[in-house]
Amino acid sequence: MKFAVIGGDARAGWLAALLAGDGHTVRTYALEKAALPQRIVACTSLDACVYGADWVLLGIPAEKDGEVLCPLSVQHVKTEELLTALWPGQTLCGGRLGQDTALGAVRAGLSVCDLMTRRDFTVGNAALTAEGAVGVLIRESPRSLWRGCALITGWGRVASQLAPRLRALGCETWIAARKRGDRAAAEGLGLHACELREIPKLAAELDFLVNTVPAPVIEKETLERLRPDSLLLELASTPGFDRELAAELGLHAAAAPGLPGKSAPCAAAVLMRDTVYAVIREREENHGQ
């Protein structure tokens, strides 16, 4: 098959190399800062990259503010420009495709594959994120996870992967979740659980506070009660906790968006490739029925 890889972080470079290693034709655009094998054609124009491609692969997340995210390039690719360059029958694939982009692609006769809507991808991506988060906690804190105390907000994909890892490393781990069923699930794994409103009561005992909820659930009262040697880690998208207030209070806060692309880009690329192959197989099977 023919693949066009456009933009993206270190995962995209590894993905292009993996696809080429499997014998596919691969062209790239807006990835000039990535280390790519010589057999991959690095195009100087968007049209040349996507011409004849079966799949057009973007990064994770794929876009922001109407532009394809291209952190390894000086190029600026507008999503509207990309859609104009594509042909009916091609598949546009990426993570967190915007609604306007997805609808525009469908109207243009394209197939759309958003990796973040597939459970086989999101579970693996959460596992990689959790592993990377453990590394950040170890690196950024003067304290150890062993005999430490951590609280994670939420019980989504990342939190449910991260909490057991922290507990396995000897860290007393709390889950603060809104839903009673989520708290019960956490307790069933041997974790402690509390309601979101109870976080301030625990704040002074915490060595680590990890937010996975894309909402301001960590309030001012909590930040004021945290010890100066505790570590705040933001894993959620905006708004998350108030980092400016945390800085004013002298707290050590770290943000780690896109962790798989930073901590394990090769493994993350393997996950992307395997998911793309799974979609291709599913389409072939459905076509044969």
1, burial (CB in 10 Å: exposed 0-12, middle 13-18, buried 19+): middle
Residues of the chain with CATH 3.40.50.720: 2-117+265-288, 122-257
Look at the chain and count its residues: 289
Rounded to an integer, the average pLDDT of 59-81 is 96
pLDDT tens figures, 134-166: 999 999 999 999 999 999 999 999 999 999 999
Phi, psi of 44 (to 5 degrees): -100, 0
CATH architecture type of domain 122-257:
3-Layer(aba) Sandwich (3.40)
196, burial (CB in 10 Å: exposed 0-12, middle 13-18, buried 19+): middle
- Banded pLDDT at 38 (limits 50, 70, 90): confident
Rounded to an integer, the average pLDDT of 91-109 is 96
Contact 30, 89 (CB under 8 A): no
CATH class, range 2-117+265-288: alpha beta
pLDDT, residue 238, reads 79
What lies within 8 Å, CB to CB, of 147 at 6+ separation is 170, 171
Q: How many CB atoms lie within 10 A of CB 106?
A: 12
pLDDT, residue 289, reads 63
pLDDT tens figures, 218-255: 999 999 999 999 999 999 987 889 989 999 999 999 99
pLDDT, residue 287, reads 78
Sheet holding 252-255, edge to edge: 192-194, 172-176, 149-153, 208-211, 231-234, 252-255
pTM score of the predicted model: 0.94
pLDDT, residue 237, reads 82
d(CA 200, CA 21): 52
